[in-house]
Structure 1
Amino acid sequence: MPKKKLHIKFVALLIGLCVWGGPLRAQITIQIPQANIQSGTAYNQDFSAGRFVSVLGLVPSFRVNANTANFSNASTGLTVPLNRANISLLRIGSVSVLGGGTEQPLSTAPATLYAAVASLLSGDISARARIPVVGFPWVAGVYTSNITFSLAGINLGAIIPGSQDFNINVPGFISLQSAIGAIRIPVNNLNSYRAVGGVSANRVTTLSTTVPYIPSVRVGTAQFNFNTTLPYHEAPLSPVSAVTVGLANVPSATPVSLSASNQALTGATGIGVTTNIQSLTNTYSINAAQLNAHFLQAGTYSVPLTYTWNKLSSAYPSGTVQAIGGGTLEVIVEDLAEIVAVQQTVSVDFDDVNDYKNGVIRDVAGQLRISKTTPYSLTVRANSSAFTSGINSIPLSVLRIGPTANQVGMTTVTLSTSAQQLIGNANPVIDRDINLRFSIPASQTQHLFGKPPGTYAADIIFGIVAP
């Protein structure tokens, strides 16, 4: 009779181990939100780890381990390290174990999550996965490992199911982190028109992404809009193609000319996910030839622009994933002026009687070099009332200043202490060479008669002024 009782109890125990009224959970899926990847905040998600079937009187330890070397994506071959998932137990049946357990990074070696100090009744197991986000480039996709929750110690209990798939789902997204705003290319130095490289300006754009992408840019019109409060003769027609834009420190990037149609800034391979927060340096450039051709007039040249960042068509997930950002490109040309006297001293020499009889002409090629980004007039005046040599003097009015035979757009004036106009209301220009003729005509040589030999000098001031 005792053997019969033992047989009945053992059958009852087997039934208790093998029959469970709750549904089996085939897999665990952790959905990492976009917001956590963007902010770098660890993500916590609670899940059901199965059901604990107890044997009264026994005190088990609860463990977890992975059955694969990493989380892997079957489609792409990409992997996520196991220790990106940290597991802890919250509740076993009706007993909270949150304060008494240990969080463990997932690995292939079984790690103890909770060591019971008293016997536990059967019940559902609640667990938590904590996913640290920072320090790892998350690429969109579903990454899977198989894990086992098990018991350790002398017991006849069990956790059902014995193992299950553990999925980490990384969403596919591209998001612009900050507004593009106004991008300004300042032209505030005349040397920009002379150096081959011209001018450039950088703007850093910050994106968050989990997908590889191709950036592209387009502008709203084929020509810049022009605005200024400064004098000008006619509004310049400046094509947007005069500006190139490229990405710094991106191997696949190639500078492109701006256009009203989308221009890809990289090749077909695009930009990969090396980090989830990416800072792209966009360099906008105008070379010297384009500056001289299209941006001589001082003022503000502006055009709206739109950036688009498109997921590679071959990348997960299928369909369109993109971000779009708008801003304004401005080229700001300041009112710049420069006049250079190439030859500081000009001599008009009277060497013999023929000079007194016929007068003297002295031509100086390239005597002045003028640069001005608004319309201008060129004037000349003397800084003293006469040419002097010691106590002796010659009237200023003997000297004529004007263009050489091949110089156009100028008039000849008689020197005085008042500013006389040599060029009137000329267009903006960079490095215009002015060929000047200094002459004392025969009609004025009488003012030189009887003067002691010597050098008679006066300072002559050339100026560029607004018309």
Structure 2
Amino acid sequence: MKTMRSFLIGIFTVCCGSTVTKAQDVYLSIPENNIFNRSEFTSVPTRVMINPNRTNWDYTFFGFGPTAPTFTSVSGPNFTHSSSAFNLPSSTLLWQLESMGGQLPSTGLSGYLPGFQQFNTSAIRWFEPPASILFGGGFYRGNINFTFKIPASQFAANSYRAGNYSMDISQNYNDFTPRNFKTILVIPSSIRWFTTSLTKYIEISSLNDYRSTGTRVFTLDNAEIAHTTDFNLWAKAASTNIQFTSSKGVPGTRNISNIKLGGNGSALTTKALSASFQNFSPASFGVVAGNRSSFIPELYLSAEDFKNNFFEAGTYTFELNFNATSTDNSINSLQNTAVQLKVLPRSEITIPNSGRNVNFNFNTASHYTNGQSQMIPNQIVLSNNESFELYVKSDENYFKKGGLQTNINSNILQIGMDGSSVDTPLSKTPQKILFNGTPVLDRGLNIRYTIPPAGAQSLVGKENTTYSINLYYSFTAI
């Protein structure tokens, strides 16, 4: 009998040793949606150990004073990354017993199931057995399953880098296998645009925007990228040309290289856009707490380019292609943004105070015989971002004297422009004095006023006093 007993003990010892060498680590794959959305992760019931034999807890003498089952971290207080110096605190992962052999153990008298806990370098009880075996505290053979949880607050507070984070765990029951195992958090390698704005509309509604001497800055929508790996931001324009449609429906193009892309800080470097991808990251975007990186792209136009190429009223459209690419070029995420710059039709006619009055004095015979002409330099300053024609008219068909109408017809006064040989008689009906004007900003016009000999001679015999008439200048878009 003694020989047989020794033989049986030997077989038992070999079997136990074999089970220990096949320790099964606990792998928890964390979905990217939980990481990026910072939403709580809860696992399905996960097997951590196997209990092939036992049905009761260990108790001390006379069945009192149970030995509670525990977990202890033997690798330190943190989950360590497999290929970098990064780690996660033990508070990242919470766990709770789900079942033993398909059911929760009996609690009996004073036994209980602890709530969700975290691993620690000291022993943490994962179940509190009843005070005595006499109170029926037991459990079933089979899988020992746990539920694991990562609270939403942990996703916001920590950075989860692609790869495996592990912690070595030891448990204190010899009959539960394995005695030692790793708990491993598996973080996927992923990059995802978190903002999905596909169109940016920019409106220009003032000519003063073109009078500024500083660089024009157009801020795009805030860009936020969720990622578990470092990345660089690449960008390009979809075409070398900006498509233009004038306010009158006439198509055209502008060169995309007039526009530079950058950012509102040091996150992006500034470069002229082209139809080829360029790296706009002066340094890669590293994985940060919360696993989201944000920046605000900006478009830049020099004052001269803005005025020369984007002054005409109409709509300018182009598409930006962004590509967030991991630093090892293994994964990427694309985002396209259509940019529409709309320039509203705007026009101005200004007359400096010095040019608001034009006076003709008839005090010599020559004035009446030969008539008179005056050129008022830069009397009118024009701004119009559409093709246009310039008109002039009077408020009445006759000059007034002291506010009362006279019989001096307005057409004795003719209006012309420097550089043009045409003089147009003044009328209450608008008369064209500038043909086929192209978009222009702050163009000064020299206006010529003429009373020809026939008109001057019609003034002979008129009362020696002041006669006046008001003139109005206006645009018509063409």
Letter in 1 for 2:343: V
Q: Work out whether residues 247 and 315 of structure 2, in 8 Å CA contact, stay in contact via their aligned partners in 1.
A: no
More deviation, 281-290/323-332: 281-290
Cα distance, 1:76 vs structure 2: 1.9
Cα distance, 1:460 vs structure 2: 0.3
Q: Work out whether residues 410 and 422 of structure 1, in 8 Å CA contact, stay in contact via their aligned partners in 2.
A: no
CA RMSD of aligned residues (A): 3.1
More deviation, 130-139/425-434: 130-139
Could you list the per-position Cα deviations for residues 105-129 of structure 1 after superposition, in whole angstroms to 9, with x for gaps in the alignment? Answer: 2222322211122144665422222
Matches within 5 A, 1:154-165: 158-165=175-182
**TM-score, with structure 2 as normaliser:** 0.83
Give structure 1 stretches of 5+ with no counterpart.
Answer: 152-156, 314-318
Quickly say closer, same or farther: Cα 1:271–1:363, change in 2 above 3 A: farther
Could you list the per-position Cα deviations for residues 415-467 of structure 1 after superposition, in whole angstroms to 9, with x for gaps in the alignment? Answer: 11121111112212222211112232344322333334443221101001034
Q: Work out whether residues 19 and 178 of structure 2, in 8 Å CA contact, stay in contact via their aligned partners in 1.
A: no
Quickly say closer, same or farther: Cα 1:387–1:121, change in 2 above 3 A: closer
Secondary structure in structure 1 of the residue aligned to 2:208: helix
Could you list the per-position Cα deviations for residues 387-406 of structure 1 after superposition, in whole angstroms to 9, with x for gaps in the alignment? Answer: 222247433122222123xx
> 2:98 matched to which residue of 1?
90
> 1:194 matched to which residue of 2?
211
> 2:133 matched to which residue of 1?
none
Quickly say closer, same or farther: Cα 1:422–1:271, change in 2 above 3 A: farther
Could you list the per-position Cα deviations for residues 63-100 of structure 1 after superposition, in whole angstroms to 9, with x for gaps in the alignment? Answer: 22222121112422111111101121122345424983
Quickly say closer, same or farther: Cα 1:253–1:279, change in 2 above 3 A: closer
Q: Work out whether residues 88 and 113 of structure 1, in 8 Å CA contact, stay in contact via their aligned partners in 2.
A: yes
CA distance in 2, matches of 1:383, 1:194: 32
Letter in 1 for 2:276: S
Cα distance, 1:11 vs structure 2: 9.9
> 2:414 matched to which residue of 1?
400
Secondary structure in structure 2 of the residue aligned to 1:203: coil
Residue 227 (structure 1) aligned with residue 240 (structure 2): no
Residues matched between the structures, number: 447
CA distance in 1, matches of 2:142, 2:10: 17
1:138 is aligned, of 160, 163, 184, to: 160
**TM-score, with structure 1 as normaliser:** 0.85
Residue 269 (structure 1) aligned with residue 284 (structure 2): yes
Cα distance, 1:231 vs structure 2: 6.0
Residue 462 (structure 1) aligned with residue 462 (structure 2): no
Could you list the per-position Cα deviations for residues 109-163 of structure 1 after superposition, in whole angstroms to 9, with x for gaps in the alignment? Answer: 3222111221446654222221224322222121122122235xxxxx5543332
Letter in 2 for 1:360: Q
CA distance in 1, matches of 2:344, 2:186: 54
Quickly say closer, same or farther: Cα 1:12–1:89, change in 2 above 3 A: farther
> 1:431 matched to which residue of 2?
442
More deviation, 208-217/264-273: 264-273
Quickly say closer, same or farther: Cα 1:62–1:102, change in 2 above 3 A: farther
1:210 is aligned, of 228, 245, 254, to: 228
Residue 69 (structure 1) aligned with residue 77 (structure 2): yes
Could you list the per-position Cα deviations for residues 211-235 of structure 1 after superposition, in whole angstroms to 9, with x for gaps in the alignment? Answer: 1211122122211223346165xx4
Identity of aligned residues (%): 19
> 2:116 matched to which residue of 1?
103
Matches within 5 A, 1:11-410: 19-20=15-16, 22=19, 24-45=22-43, 46-52=45-51, 54=54, 58=59, 59-67=66-74, 68-93=76-101, 95-97=103-105, 100-117=113-130, 118-120=137-139, 123-133=142-152, 134-135=155-156, 136-150=158-172, 158-195=175-212, 196-198=214-216, 200-228=218-246, 230=248, 235-249=251-265, 251-270=266-285, 272-313=287-328, 319-343=329-353, 345-350=356-361, 352-353=363-364, 354-390=366-402, 391=404, 393=406, 394-404=408-418, 408=419
Q: Work out whether residues 56 and 121 of structure 1, in 8 Å CA contact, stay in contact via their aligned partners in 2.
A: no
CA distance in 1, matches of 2:467, 2:287: 76
CA distance in 2, matches of 1:76, 1:218: 33
CA distance in 1, matches of 2:176, 2:19: 12
More deviation, 26-35/351-360: 351-360
Letter in 1 for 2:344: E
Quickly say closer, same or farther: Cα 1:409–1:270, change in 2 above 3 A: farther
Q: Work out whether residues 66 and 146 of structure 1, in 8 Å CA contact, stay in contact via their aligned partners in 2.
A: yes
CA distance in 1, matches of 2:195, 2:446: 54
Matches within 5 A, 1:405-420: 408=419, 411-420=422-431
Quickly say closer, same or farther: Cα 1:266–1:411, change in 2 above 3 A: farther
CA distance in 1, matches of 2:88, 2:414: 86
Cα distance, 1:198 vs structure 2: 3.6
CA distance in 2, matches of 1:186, 1:410: 40
Letter in 2 for 1:247: G
Letter in 2 for 1:400: Q
Letter in 2 for 1:237: T
Quickly say closer, same or farther: Cα 1:94–1:223, change in 2 above 3 A: closer
